[in-house]
């Protein structure tokens, strides 16, 4: 069997610490299942700029192009806090998503049983919740033109454009319905059709898709502001939530609190090019270098890589179970520690090692 090649981009802030843990888990999982895997690292974002390179160096892009999957840490650095979007390290990730046309970002929100009490929501609300957020990732407000800074008679102004063609809505809708078919066949489409033309088109396109190709699935339209509220009021009503780029970004951070921490949420970005796997959280500059970061979102991201890119859900499932077992033993990084009896506060390395030993 041919080697499965993974490009690893650790990224900024806590990226290198959590990526180190995730790569060790990825290697151990491959070894356990006799899966031939190789990986090579590339620089991007602030880490690349610090090395005197552009945020997305050509050699990193080439490495990604020559790989079958990309494992990517968080991008972002406070030194660019006041820089315009085009100059920020995060832009490298948006370029990667766009270059590989990774239009479907899958963000599963499913609390691990041992962590039910880590959520700020009451146990009875989150226990049993199992949601898949399907976020459109290469269109909408993040990418459409016109964008930029301009001047007119009233002075300087900034512009971004929320634009979707029907075909873009159609293809992300298909991903949502096809995912729902493997689950509970229920799709909530989050839009803002009460205020925006682009979202009116989103809504009618979703409905037409459902009526034409997915009559076995239920489709409910929900205004995105209401969807935010429903996510915390009654998360268990949701199966698949599909949303545009900006709304999906916001909804997934809310969703994270159902699992207790943003440090628990993995994601897969799929489309026509090389698939990319990234945690939902950011680079967490406040805890960088302290060995405190939760590596589990990154480890669960490696699990999604096996499931979706290598088509080995058995290996992904083994990683998920190892994570669950480490948590059942009471191990907690600071973000998911609640000071309850039986908890043991650990750092990034210890948590990573615990997952490794459960896996073996």
Of 103, 142, 164, 308, which is the active-site residue? 142
CB of 253 to Mg ion, least distance (A): 6
Nearer to ligand IPM by Cβ, of 90 and 191: the residue is 90
> Does residue 89 interact with ligand IPM by CB under 6 A?
no
Residues 238 to 277 in contact with ligand IPM, rule: CB under 6 A: 249
- Among ligand IPM, Mg ion, none, residue 77 binds (CB under 5-8 Å by kind): none
> Does residue 90 interact with ligand IPM by CB under 6 A?
yes
> Does residue 77 interact with ligand IPM by CB under 6 A?
no
CB of 56 to ligand IPM, least distance (A): 13
Based on the residue annotation, tell me whether 253 is a catalytic residue of this protein: yes
- Among ligand IPM, Mg ion, none, residue 162 binds (CB under 5-8 Å by kind): none
Based on the residue annotation, tell me whether 66 is a catalytic residue of this protein: no
Nearer to Mg ion by Cβ, of 335 and 343: the residue is 335
Which residue, 87, 72, 68, is CA-closest to 9? 72
Q: Is the peptide bond before 155 cis (omega within 30 degrees of 0)?
A: no
- Work out whether the CA dihedral 164, 255, 12, 76 comes out positive or negative: positive
CB of 90 to ligand IPM, least distance (A): 4
Instruction: Quote the CA–CA distance of 357 and 28 in Å, as a whole number.
Output: 9
Instruction: Quote the CA–CA distance of 286 and 3 in Å, as a whole number.
Output: 38
187 near 176, Cβ under 8 Å? yes
- Among ligand IPM, Mg ion, none, residue 76 binds (CB under 5-8 Å by kind): ligand IPM
Of 117, 186, 225, 325, which is the active-site residue? 225
> Does residue 173 interact with ligand IPM by CB under 6 A?
no
Instruction: Quote the CA–CA distance of 152 and 28 in Å, as a whole number.
Output: 58
Per the DSSP assignment, residues forming a β-bridge with 70 are 7, 276
Based on the residue annotation, tell me whether 142 is a catalytic residue of this protein: yes
> Does residue 235 interact with ligand IPM by CB under 6 A?
no
Q: Select the residue whose beta carbon is closest to Mg ion and give its number.
A: 249
| CA distance to 87, 300, 355, per residue, from 344 (Å) | 41, 21, 14
Cα 345-346-347 angle, rounded to 5 deg: 140
Sequence-ordered list of residues with C-beta below 8 angstroms from that of 304, at least 6 positions apart, any chain: 106, 108, 266, 267, 268, 277, 316
For the chain, first and last CA: distance in Å?
23
Site string for Mg ion, 224-263 (x = CB under 5 A): -------------------------x--------------
Q: Select the residue whose beta carbon is closest to ligand IPM and give its number.
A: 90
Sequence-ordered list of residues with C-beta below 8 angstroms from that of 155, at least 6 positions apart, any chain: none
Nearer to ligand IPM by Cβ, of 301 and 348: the residue is 301
The label of the residue with tokens 């090395």 reads: 51
CB of 343 to ligand IPM, least distance (A): 28
- Among Mg ion, ligand IPM, none, residue 132 binds (CB under 5-8 Å by kind): none
For the chain, give the longest Cα–Cα distance: 67
- Interface contacts to ligand IPM, rule CB under 6 A: 76, 90, 93, 249, 280, 282
């Amino acid at each position: 069997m041919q080697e499965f090649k993974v490009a690893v981009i650790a990224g900024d802030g806590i990226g290198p610490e959590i990526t180190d843990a995730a790569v060790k888990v990825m290697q151990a999982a491959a070894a356990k299942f006799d899966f031939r895997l190789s990986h090579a690292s590339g620089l991007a974002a602030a880490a690349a700029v610090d090395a005197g390179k552009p945020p997305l160096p050509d050699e990193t892009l080439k490495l990604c192009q020559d790989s079958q999957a990309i494992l990517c840490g968080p991008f972002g650095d406070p030194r660019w806090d006041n820089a315009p979007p085009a100059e920020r390290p995060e832009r490298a990730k948006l370029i990667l998503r766009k270059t590989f046309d990774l239009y479907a970002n899958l963000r599963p929100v499913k609390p691990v049983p041992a962590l039910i009490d880590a959520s700020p929501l009451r146990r009875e609300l989150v226990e049993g919740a199992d949601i898949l957020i399907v976020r459109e990732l290469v269109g909408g407000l993040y990418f459409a033109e016109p964008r930029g800074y301009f001047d007119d008679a009233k002075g300087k102004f900034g512009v971004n454009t929320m634009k979707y063609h029907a075909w873009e809505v159609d293809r992300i809708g298909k991903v949502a319905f096809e995912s729902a078919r493997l689950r509970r066949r229920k799709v909530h489409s989050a839009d803002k059709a009460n205020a925006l033309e682009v979202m009116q088109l989103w809504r009618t396109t979703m409905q037409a898709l459902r009526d034409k190709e997915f009559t076995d699935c239920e489709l409910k339209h929900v205004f995105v502001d209401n969807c935010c509220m429903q996510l915390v009021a009654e998360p268990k009503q949701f199966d698949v939530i599909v949303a545009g780029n900006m709304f999906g970004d916001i909804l997934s951070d809310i969703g994270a609190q159902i699992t207790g921490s943003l440090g628990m949420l993995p994601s897969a970005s799929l489309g026509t090019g090389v698939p990319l796997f990234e945690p939902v959280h950011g680079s967490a500059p406040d805890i960088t270098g302290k060995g405190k970061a939760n590596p589990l979102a990154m480890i669960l991201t490696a699990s999604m890589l096996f499931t979706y890119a290598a088509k080995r859900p058995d290996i992904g499932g083994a990683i998920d179970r190892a994570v669950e077992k480490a948590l059942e033993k009471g191990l907690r990084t600071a973000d998911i520690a609640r000071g309850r009896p039986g908890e043991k506060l650990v750092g990034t390395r210890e948590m990573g090692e615990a997952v490794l030993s459960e896996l073996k």
